[in-house]
Amino acid sequence: MRRNLSHIIAAAFNEPLLLEPAYARVFFCALGREMGAASLSVPQQQVQFDAPGMLAETDEYMAGGKRPARVYRVVNGIAVLPVTGTLVHRLGGMRPFSGMTGYDGIVACLQQAMADSQVRGVLLDIDSPGGQAAGAFDCADMIYRLRQQKPVWALCNDTACSAAMLLASACSRRLVTQTSRIGSIGVMMSHVSYAGHLAQAGVDITLIYAGAHKVDGNQFEALPAEVRQDMQQRIDAAHRMFAEKVAMYTGLSVDVVTGTEAAVFEGQSGIEAGLADELINASDAISVMATALNSNVRGGTMPQLTATEAAVQENQRVMGILTCQEAKGREQACHDAGRATGHER
């Protein structure tokens, strides 16, 4: 996902610049990465940067001239990884940038933390409304896989919705605050048509193509019913995958997950719905996790419940969904989800 940098490019190239040479390298490394450049050459200084070198040069400057050994902070043996803003497939960096976090960066940071001998566990500090579906499921699967090596916890601080909920669900344990917003386990797609605007402007666009579906969903005509149906099928399939992943990661049933009907749960109601485990103050998250690790309570290996305890807990989760504020207007779907797992209200 590239931003429109045409104004910066126009000012930076073929125009005189008054820049200190060392900063010029940083500037053009950063700009080159945004433009998708694979390398940067500085012949006068006999310097050549490849893509990783451009990233390192930028990171070194942002770190105050010291190349960071880590891209996360470690407190009491806990590596804290920020997951903020819109989640995108390939951001090309290991830190959140310009209101976005890349799935590629999350995985890279986790892998680095797994290899770090000073890290006992990882806390994903999440404040995100979600983002792209592309890359999200692979990232969540990697979190689920890596949590077998070291505990990976999620802190909803204060939003973990949709794709961010997917990532949080893959973690060993989920912490929420009293004002957290968690859930929105659903999928959406939008279509824009300029057909009416173009007609008013007297513009007629003709699409010439081969392959019946080549121009499906194009912006120059209203969305045909059959194309909308195809899109709905894609959305439904993605929703099923979403629900199945959350169910696999958390131990909830698929029916309970889909029974939330993409509702957003606040604070305690997220725990009652089974999407979170513990209500805390965000400032206490690291100490809570560190205490758990010191007690050998790892998210993926929490004490096993008896059959009775598990049944009671599952019943509480389902009842939480049935009675929460977000279930109003969705009562039948929630009751169906409860019956599917052996619960009746």
209-231: per-residue pLDDT in tens? Answer: 999 999 998 989 999 999 999 99
For the annotated catalytic residues, the residue numbers are 162, 214
More confident residue, 306 or 43: 43
Model confidence at 305, in pLDDT bands (50, 70, 90)? Answer: very low
Question: Rounded to 10 degrees, what is the CA torsion of 70, 75, 77, 81?
Answer: -50
Q: What residues contact 145, with CB distance under 8 A and at least 6 apart? A: none
Closest-CA residue to 297 (of 121, 162, 167, 63): 121
Using CA atoms, how far apart are residues 203 and 289, in angstroms rounded to an integer? 61
Q: Tokens 């009675």 belong to which residue?
A: 323
Model confidence at 72, in pLDDT bands (50, 70, 90)? Answer: confident
Model confidence at 95, in pLDDT bands (50, 70, 90)? Answer: low
Question: Global pTM?
Answer: 0.67
Using CA atoms, how far apart are residues 308 and 318, in angstroms rounded to an integer? 15
Using CA atoms, how far apart are residues 90 and 138, in angstroms rounded to an integer? 12
Q: Which two tokens stand for residue 172?
A: 């060993």
Q: Is 87 helix (H, G, I), strand (E, B) or coil?
A: strand
Residue 66, pLDDT above cutoff 50: no
Structural domains for the chain:
6-62 (no CATH), 73-184+263-303 (3.90.226.10), 188-255 (no CATH), 306-345 (no CATH)
More confident residue, 262 or 329: 262
Contact 126, 155 (CB under 8 A): yes
Q: What is the mean pLDDT of residues 74-100?
A: 80
- Residue 28 pLDDT: 80
Model confidence at 6, in pLDDT bands (50, 70, 90)? Answer: confident
